[in-house]
A = this chain, B = another copy of it.
């Protein structure tokens, strides 16, 4: 795919295919302490160094027994076992269990040698140094067997997995102190003579605050990427070229905001073109988010996003997130989707993917979706007023009032 004029907007699927195919950069991997790995991507398969559990242990509170001793037990004719001790988690019973003996055990306690089953309290009763067992228990009844959970050598975390809180539980249980994760960094370069930083608010007349930077920083962190903000650069092709080149050397991807547009100043695409990209997509068939563009240079993504927060989010979803997932070998996390009845007709252009922010609410046991704005990449407040996103595919010109539509939920339903 060559350089395209802005008038021929590239359809999103085609743009994504071209960019992802050219993306060959592999980010740096580093071992980090296991508890800090949540929200990062595993950079290699992680293998269990030992069995879990490391020993046979009680899976219930009760009595450790030899199952054979309970063979003919019943409520009318209980097995009478001699209570010879007690085992707690971390405090094993000293010595083995002989025939006709029982040891009181708490969940998690190591099973004494000789024992092969646990009789829960409910199915037994202790009387004067003896335990009456009311039923036969099979071998390994309420026993967590050594290695039944994880066997040494088994892969417990696959490369590319986004590490979740419970994964930390598995890794920590295995005594794995460090995990290899991808350290993905993204440079953010904000372009625009009109921009001032939030710290400099209120802005002078005609200037606006660089809010898009903060949206992108937060979204990058949510997908496990560390943002590196490189400041505001003026609408000057040479300056942008130098800054992007510098960022590309240091980081796994570069995100620019602003300066992509059909009119002047369109310095960003010109600047990036000088880096001899293998792919350059100039504008996508998205609404909002038309100016979002992307290039691949030396196997790395340069995402040239709109300067408007709402449009930049579309560009983030189209280019940045898929690139992060590809670099990390990861699959996309599921998103909450509901079916809702559209309260008003929405008309969108054909051959364009439209992102319509909606407010989803419940009424009379049904869910409704009220469209908030079809156009207007500048309309920020729909982000806080709405709690859902209706994505209208390229082959539709919208939906009618009363249509049942699928909405991606971005927040709680009122």
A residues whose Cβ falls under 8 Å from a Cβ of B: 34-35, 38, 50, 52-55, 57, 59, 61-62, 86, 88-92, 104-108, 110, 121, 144, 148-150, 156-157, 161-162, 164-173, 175-177, 192-195, 198-199, 201-203, 205-212, 214-215, 217-219, 221-222, 235, 258, 261-265, 291, 307-310, 313, 330-338, 375-376, 378-381, 383-384, 409-414
Contact = CB atoms under 8 A, between A and B. Distances in A.
Nearest to A57: B378
A194 B380 contact: no
Most B CB contacts (10 A, CB to CB) among A59, A172, A192 go to: A172
B381 A156 contact: yes
Given A88-B194, A194-B108, A379-B149, A168 B211 contact: yes
A4 B268 CA distance: 68
Contact of A173 (B34, B166, B209, B337): B209
Given A173-B208, A335-B336, 18 more contacts: A88-B235, A89-B194, A89-B208, A90-B195, A91-B194, A106-B261, A106-B264, A108-B307, A110-B206, A148-B379, A149-B379, A161-B384, A164-B383, A169-B309, A170-B211, A173-B211, A176-B201, A336-B336
A193 B380 contact: no
Contact of A106 (B104, B169, B203, B265): B265
A263 B164 contact: no
A215 B62 contact: no
A356 B412 CA distance: 25
A222 to B, nearest CB: 7
Contact of A264 (B88, B170, B258, B310): B88
B162 A207 contact: no
B211 A172 contact: yes
Nearest to A155: B384
Given A89-B194, A211-B169, A149 B106 contact: no
B170 A380 contact: yes
Contacts of A205: 55, 92
Contacts of A108: 194, 208, 307-308, 378
A74 to B, nearest CB: 22
A215 B89 contact: no
Contacts of A208: 53-54, 89-90, 108, 173
B262 A61 contact: yes
Contact of A149 (B59, B330, B335, B378): B378
Contacts of A176: 201
A144 B384 contact: no
Q: What 7 pairs between A and B have smallest CB-CB spacing?
A: A90-B194, A175-B201, A165-B218, A331-B412, A172-B211, A89-B194, A61-B263
Contact of A175 (B57, B193, B209): B209
A235 B61 CA distance: 16
